[in-house]
Amino acid sequence: MTKLATLTAVGILALALAGGATTAFAFKGQEYAKEANVTLVQARAIALKAVPGKITDEELEKEGGGSGLRYSFDIKTDGPTHEVGVDAKTGKLLENSIEGPHSD
């Protein structure tokens, strides 16, 4: 198991045991994880700091803007669901927008 995979697994377990703000599930885009400097656990923390709520979907994807590699999170709040993007190489917040009615 790689260091990133171990840290991710430990982080998911810790959040699940602590009743954290996210659900433990596999994220889409794991094939890009070796290119990321920021772990999934770190990216989740950055996203939840920007928009407190519950993560309902997460993926690591190649997309324009920033370094071109980003974690994308859907975060359910008491109001609308937000899409939050975190650069997987720098940790910079790239996106914080309200999901539209026809999100994918």
CATH number at residue 19: 3.10.450.40
Check residue 3 and give its pLDDT: 52
On whether residue 13 sits in a domain, the answer given is: yes
Mean pLDDT of the chain: 81
- What residue numbers bound the domain in which 76 lies? 3-98
Long-range (24+ apart) CB contacts under 8 A made by 41-47 are 41/7, 41/8, 41/11, 41/12, 41/15, 42/91, 43/71, 43/73, 43/86, 43/88, 43/91, 44/11, 44/15, 44/71, 44/73, 46/86, 46/91, 46/93, 47/71, 47/73, 47/75, 47/84, 47/86, 47/93
Q: Average pLDDT in the 35-49 region?
A: 97
The SS3 of residue 98 is: strand
What's the average model confidence in pLDDT over 36-50?
A: 97
- Residue at 104 is within a domain: no
Domain count, the chain: 1
Look at residue 74 and tell me if it is in a domain: yes
